Chain A
């Protein structure tokens, strides 16, 4: 069996999990195996939706011990399910939870682990992964030496495709006992916007923004076209009060949105490493020689303080919006 750990939010399968499930279905077909979807939490209401993405079996572990995320409780549920079902491949989306839990579960299973993969295939019956290294400056093809193979899939890379399957429901026992570490409190940002790593559209600002307050025009454009705002390391380190969580680049977030609009970003290697996986790149910069233009599908040489508000205006006029 190929088992995919899925996350629910407000009773619905999170998009990165749906993408992992769809990729799991494709691999299961290639390997001639069943696809299992695994859910854990205080409630798994909504798990049945996994049938839509091709799950033959839907496993749910429900219990109060799983109400708050705990790396060891979740790793226990997942590793036990892998063993009980004799699964050879375990996938999860490379989300905050996925990246925390999957390596722990892999170590428990004595399994190799490939993180944040952008491609998967079955070669001679074994999983093979393609993953960005050096923040996307290179790609490594990774093979597994272990019997069980664990990988997390990068959000926004694999398509979430519907393919209905039986989706037979099966309940698993929730673990009991004291857990070594537990999430006590969620400190959500007020905006409630999607994370950069999962965003479909990113509007990013660099040193050319001149001040943190000027990011307001990027927020307005992002709101108009359904995107979120990021920043280069130069902008984050400039003391403009921008949080590190906004940083795109090799020492920040590595992103692969459909559209990345770089405003006042010159295109240092460290920044390019974090965003060159974007499908479409737009560069707005007053310096026609800025290296970012070499990457851009569309370049605008001009003053971003004129161009960005015009884009917002034109987007509203054209009724454009995404996400």
Chain B
């Protein structure tokens, strides 16, 4: 079995967002970059599959030199090889899906794993778009995955519950928190990763579907007020305020 894991480098969740001088992108100063957490579940699932049934795991990222950190980490965790699709990494989900499809189309991957969304962009679109461009099955927001002979069964999170999606491989599966508990890299893995090289391929030319023309911080919330008194008085005052001022009830 041949598994491709698509990984994205994103700002850490604790990042305080600042808008760059161009008014439409993130100011990269002081940003700590990490592998998108949902992609970590995808990578862990690929490595577990390799350990359980044997598989070749290829880690992939789209971007520039800094994206190599994500790939080095993937190699340390157990990916067999890593590919950097060299591009500016600025395109939308549709552009990235075309870049990855352009690379993956004739490589014979049985399974493509990635996060259900890239942290930050929050599009939740690249996976399904990639599945469509490759003409394969998809299952998104997955918390359980079972692989059979040329088939898969996956539990997908939905509103107020979950559902079982079944289909044929190849497939694009996007991971959700709860799928597994990602491991930390071992010293042995880190040392072994240092000997591996990252293959670099120029990204294919693509068309973008959307462009960000402005990025802005949310408006400040109006100052609130504290409710005084004992617990019973506070409770009554709150419900009255929600009813009369906020008109929530």
Contacts and interface: CB of A to CB of B under 8 A. Distances in A.
B92 A112 contact: yes
Interface in A199-245: 201, 225, 243-245
Interface size, B (range): 35 or more
A107 B234 contact: no
A65 interface: no
Contacts of B201: none
A318 interface: yes
Contact of B128 (A103, A138, A314): A103
A92 B45 CA distance: 31
Contacts of A245: 157, 178
Contact of B122 (A75, A115, A298, A303): A115
A53 interface: no
Given A104-B138, A106-B94, A300 B227 contact: yes
B249 A320 contact: yes
B197 interface: no
Interface string A140-183: 11111110000000000000000000000000000000011111
Given A297-B246, A302-B231, A142 B138 contact: no
B235 A252 contact: no
A300 B225 CA distance: 9
A103 B217 contact: no
A84 interface: no
Interface stretch (B1-9, B56-64, B75-83, B203-211): B203-211
A138 B140 contact: no
Interface size, A (range): 35 or more
Contacts of A298: 224-227, 238, 241-242
Dominant SS among interface residues on chain B: mixed
A299 B13 CA distance: 26
A294 B226 CA distance: 11
Given A135-B122, A245-B157, A299 B129 contact: no
B160 A189 contact: yes
Nearest to B151: A181
A134 B177 contact: no
Dominant SS among interface residues on chain A: mixed
B141 to A, nearest CB: 7
A300 B210 CA distance: 43
Contacts of B16: 137, 269
B125 interface: yes
A48 B232 CA distance: 49
Contacts of A99: 124, 140-141
A180 B171 contact: yes
Contacts of A311: 235, 238-239
A41 interface: no
A113 B129 contact: yes
Nearest to A321: B249
B246 A259 contact: yes
Contacts of A189: 160-161
A49 interface: no
Contact of B19 (A138, A142, A321, A322): A138
B119 A251 contact: yes
Interface in A306-323: 306-307, 310-311, 313-315, 318, 320-322
A180 B137 contact: yes
Contact of B159 (A95, A138, A281, A310): A95
Contact of A181 (B161, B167, B217, B246): B167
A203 to B, nearest CB: 12
Interface stretch (A18-26, A30-38, A56-64, A190-198): A190-198
A140 B212 contact: yes
A282 B238 contact: yes
A314 B243 CA distance: 12
B93 A103 contact: yes
B214 interface: yes
Contacts of B94: 106-107, 111-113
Interface of A: 69, 71-72, 75, 95-97, 99-101, 103-104, 106-108, 110-116, 128-129, 131-146, 179-189, 191-195, 197-198, 201, 225, 243-245, 247, 250-252, 254, 258-259, 268-270, 273, 276-277, 279-282, 288, 293-303, 306-307, 310-311, 313-315, 318, 320-322
Given A259-B242, A320-B243, 4 more contacts: A114-B210, A142-B211, A189-B160, A251-B37
10 contacts: A99-B140, A100-B140, A107-B130, A142-B211, A184-B164, A193-B160, A244-B143, A251-B13, A270-B14, A314-B235
Interface of B: 11, 13-17, 19, 24, 26, 37-38, 92-94, 97, 119-133, 136-141, 143, 153, 155-168, 171, 176-178, 207-218, 221-222, 224-227, 231-232, 234-236, 238-239, 241-243, 246, 248-249
